[in-house]
A and B are shown apart, each in its own frame.
Chain A
Amino acid sequence: MITNYIEHHLPNGIRLFFMPTDKFKTISIALFIHQELNSKLAAMSALLPAVLEQGSRQYPDKLILQRKLENLYGADLTADIIKSGERHIMTFGCETAHDKYLGEGKALVKEGLSVLGSVSGDPLLENGSFKKEYVEQEKKQLIKDIKAMLNDKATYAYERCIALMCSEERFGTYKLGSIEDYNNINEESLYQYYNHVFSANPIDLYVIGDLKEKEVLDATGEAFSLSRLKEQNRLPLTDTKKTVQEVRYYEEALPVNQAKIVLGLRTYTAYGDDLYCPLLLYSGILGGFPHSKLFMKVREEAGLAYYVHSRLEKHKGLMIIAAGINYEDYDNAREIIERQLEDMAAGNISDEELDNTRQGLINRLRSQQDSPIQLIISHLDGSIGGKTYTAAELIKGIETVGKQEIQEAAERVKLDTVYVLRPQEGGSIK
């Protein structure tokens, strides 16, 4: 049983996707403002939701706003920035418990939409621009967040590999931008940017819950009434074509206990591509599951790692392999990993590996139907990738892919960059 979205356009061009369903105990609302990922705009795009979340005209500071949310039975308001492919998406979310569990005639959806509409569309202004105090405060917080990337070593190694590998591409931009960019932003320039983006860029609104279509339409129309341009900005698609000249190797030493190895590969297969389903199987067989080649060979047979896996960046067409190992085992681990890549390219896939991975991927897709946020994100992928798949279409695709197509996807894959984070003591190996 897979429910589908009812699609509407609000009078100002915002696209509304509403899914009526009584299976959740919540009402989930999410707003996405699309922007292209690019190093010049990244800091502004990251800063905007953070500043708006500090307060709106109706709820001018966090204290008032949070108290309002608590009185809505702890409605959870979020403001964030997402990097997906070469898209940079400002996002606001609000999740509330459904009224029917609270035993009173509440109208939480209306209230939730109203708060979200206020925070995103009716900001607090001072002398015709954003409140200076909030802008300066959030600049500091974001600079701190950029530095804090270092704290989780696996994330840090992943981000370093991406930045090095894609240094000449838009995708190499970190989702919070760079520290220097924040110095050039002030309350006026940010407010100008806000007006521009909110009036001209594509905006998607999602509502999921046990609700009537009319009540959702009325409430969204009222809450998101900001005026917008007729002609919307067209955002560029993600570039997935960059060629690999030679494999680049980077090593960095820090006072840590465990070495992290990250391999960045280009698959030349993007979300909308015919070989997308074969690619899902390819990465799944290689390193997406505990039954996959990487886990079996590197961890279960050689005992070299606790975690080792491959993950796709589906819109950019990248595959990232990551493992945490003893630095002395680097040569051994890399050799085993590369042997698995060669095996995949040579089509050495057993029926069991193929079948298990097929089922594992289908299980994941079906499970997504049980989570409001995953229902929203998987649909949003269609807007980002320029092609919409229903869950049923993806499942059918995965069911019918054969080894030959997987090998075809495998043959396209090229190793681009190797990044190693290693403990400070001990010499370099390259």
Chain B
Amino acid sequence: MRENLKLIENRELHETLYHYQFHPGLDLYVLPRTGYQKKYAVFSTRFGSIDNRFRVEPHPEVTELPDGVAHFLEHKLFEDERGNVFDRFAALGASANAFTSFTQTSYLFSCTASFEQNFDLLLNFVQEPYFTDKTVQKEQGIIGQEIKMYEDHPHWRVFFNLLAGLYQMHPVRNDIAGTIESINKISPELLYRCYHTFYHPSNMAVFVVGNLDPEEVGRQVEKNLLGRDYSPMGQIVRQFPDEPFEINQQKTVQELVVSEPIMFIGLKDNIVAKLESRQKMRREILMELVLDILFGSSEKLYNELYRDNLIDENFGAEYTNEINYGYAMIGGETRDPDQLYSRIMEAIENVKKEGITKEQFERHRRKILGGYIRRFNSLEFIANNYLAYRFRDNEMFELPSVLQDITIEEAMAVAEENFDPAYHVISLIVPSPEE
């Protein structure tokens, strides 16, 4: 086992991470954390809602999926011929859950006793699919209610409307759970086909954190995989439509039961698809810093908007980038979307003229560094986010050192190049007239 072990050290955070790799390509990461009672494990696959067109080398045939399959599969993996997997975790005193994002599906549990048995259960149920017509049909009802719940959720709607405005072709424009119509097209056969592609160990990774011995965890995974007789799989080729630089729709307005309008501005990042992974991570840090300088609570704009009663404490800005898309979103609840819109766009123009000061740059850098350290209290945060970075070929533990490395000139360049008003959209939720 030694030959496939790598240590990842982080001096700033006082952490040592153990990385193992097993045949046929499963990555295991173990982070020992003494003093904690909780042990947390997550088993993730690079299969998210955007992976809806793919083929597997060397086969030429392409599979195309209705929206919502990755999420549907996540629900269904919790059931097998013996019933409900939640029950088995419960019998071992663990709390289990799962989530599906645009780019990955993750299964997880946390426990304070019987770690080995719970960990085996996690490894087993994720590797043992069981889909029938009957169970698929029942799930259509449950997920139908999940979709309806989100349809009534203004912050969820404003987000997806924003993405649908930004993107013409890219599947990130579609809801992760799909629609009532699209999930009715899902069959057991389709789930099996996706399962056998995306749930191959070479497309997956495990992260475990807690008061644990890495060697023991490594042996347990090795043993679990031994009996399963996996053969290597060809590379998964994900196909994405060509996304033009231009946005899809400049303004989206939806009526919902809300107390006042909710407005977000979305900025499409057209550069990100061309960058290699390390550059993407650097860009993410730079964008976080620049957005905080522009819109953060320690700066003039935020305080003026707050004083003018145009925003509340939840106003904010964030930036996301993934394999082939990226965007920034800025906004919140507001009594006057038009005025808020022009004040934000003005600020974006101003920063290009006025630049940012050395004092701002250093102060916001300190803030972000402290934030990283604080978040490392949470085992869930570490595990979930580590794998998300891994799946983008990045090393999350490098965040503090990259943050120390960036320069004010780079930040300025990002501010100047990246807020191109030609590629921005408005997503607006307004109160229903009935209210």
Seen from chain A, the residues whose Cβ lies within 8 Å of a Cβ on chain B are: 1, 21-26, 61-63, 66-67, 69-76, 95-98, 100-103, 137, 140-141, 144-145, 147-154, 254-258, 289-291, 295-296, 299-300, 303-307, 324-326, 352, 355-357, 359-360, 362-364, 366-367, 369-372, 424
Chain B residues contacting A304 (CB-CB under 8 Å) are 141, 145
Q: From known contacts A25-B373, A144-B312, A299-B142, infer whether A370 and B38 are also in contact, taking CB-CB under 8 Å.
A: yes
Q: Supply 13 further A-B pairs (C-beta < 8 A) apart from A26-B377, A74-B371, A151-B333.
A: A23-B36, A63-B300, A66-B296, A95-B374, A97-B369, A137-B309, A140-B309, A144-B335, A148-B260, A151-B257, A290-B86, A325-B145, A372-B377
The yes or no answer to B111 lying at the interface (CB within 8 A) is: yes
CB of B138 within 8 A of CB of A303, answer yes
User: Is B35 engaged at the interface, CB distance under 8 Å to the other chain?
Assistant: yes
Which residues of B from 85 to 129 have beta carbons under 8 Å from A?
86-87, 90-96, 110-113
Pair B312/A141 contact, Cβ less than 8 Å: yes
Question: 15 interchain pairs (CB within 8 A)?
Answer: A25-B373, A25-B376, A63-B299, A63-B300, A97-B369, A141-B312, A151-B257, A151-B262, A305-B142, A306-B145, A325-B145, A363-B93, A367-B95, A371-B377, A371-B378
Closest to B143 in A: A306
CA distance A303 to B299 in the complex (A): 49
Interface string of B356-377 (1 = CB under 8 A from A): 0000000110111111011011
- Closest approach, in angstroms, between the C-beta of A422 and any C-beta of chain B? 12
**The one of A151, A352, A355 that contacts B258, using a Cβ cutoff of 8 Å:** A151
CA distance A256 to B110 in the complex (A): 35
| Most central of B35, B92, B145, B306 by chain A CB within 10 Å | B145
The stretch from B52-60, B150-158, B192-200 touching chain A is B150-158
Given A62-B306, A370-B379, is A73 in contact with B112 using a C-beta cutoff of 8 Å?
Answer: no
Question: Please, which residue of chain A has its CB at the minimum distance from the CB of B259?
Answer: A147
Report, nearest first, the 3 A-B pairs whose CB atoms are least far apart. A73-B370, A359-B93, A23-B35
Report if B149 contacts A (CB, 8 A): yes
Residues of A within 8 A of B90 (CB): 289-291, 356-357, 359-360
Interchain CB contact under 8 A, A424 and B91: no
B13 at the A/B interface (Cβ < 8 Å)? yes
Complex Cα gap A47–B257 (Å) = 26
B298 at the interface (CB under 8 A from A): yes
B residues near A25, Cβ cutoff 8 Å: 13, 373-374, 376-377
A372 to B373, CA, bound (A): 14
Interface residues of B in 140-193 (CB under 8 A from A): 141-143, 145-146, 148-149, 151-155
User: Which B residue's beta carbon lies closest to that of A357?
Assistant: B90
B37-A26 in contact (CB<8A): no
B303-334 interface with A by 8 A CB criterion = 303, 306-307, 309, 312-313, 333
Question: Is B91 a contact partner of A356 (Cβ separation < 8 A)?
Answer: yes
Shortest beta-carbon distance, A85 to chain B, in Å? 26
Contacts of B373 in A (CB 8 A): 25-26, 73, 97-98, 101-102
Q: Given A21, A103, A255, A257, which contacts B432 in the complex, CB threshold below 8 Å?
A: A255
- Cα separation A359 to B110 with both chains bound (whole Å): 12
Contacts of A144 in B (CB 8 A): 259-260, 312, 333, 335
Q: Which of A21, A98, A150, A366 contacts B257 (CB 8 A)?
A: A150
Within the complex, the shortest CB–CB distance from B126 to chain A, in Å, comes to: 17
- How distant is the Cα of A151 from the Cα of B177 in the complex, in angstroms? 21
A76 to B141 CA separation, bound complex (whole angstroms): 42
Shortest Cβ distance from A290 into chain B, in angstroms? 4
Does any Cβ of A come within 8 Å of B297's Cβ?
A: yes
